[in-house]
Amino acid sequence: MDSLRSYLSEYAAGRHSREEMIATVAAWPLQERDLDPAHTLPDHQDNTTDVLAAAVLNGQLTEEDYREILRQRAN
């Protein structure tokens, strides 16, 4: 799978365990946000930290999930 947004949707639908999701997302090759003036929202990119933040706001991830992903990415 090459879309973090799609993977998180699958997780929210119950297709992946929390442990699997955290390990997968922590290892995901994130991209830098493309600051394209034609796109005022980062919805044209599927693999940025903005996608993670949006998943928290949309209820796909908890704050705890988000913090654990960031903790594992830092290690």
pLDDT digits (tens, 9 = 90+) for 30-43: 888 777 777 666 56
CA atoms within 13 A on the CB side of 6: 5
Whether residue 14 contacts residue 8, with contact meaning beta carbons closer than 8 Å, is answered with no
Q: Which of 21, 19, 12, 14 is nearest to 59 (CA)?
A: 12
Provide the whole-model pTM.
0.83
C-beta atoms surrounding 68 within 10 Å: 19
Give the mean pLDDT of 48-66: 93
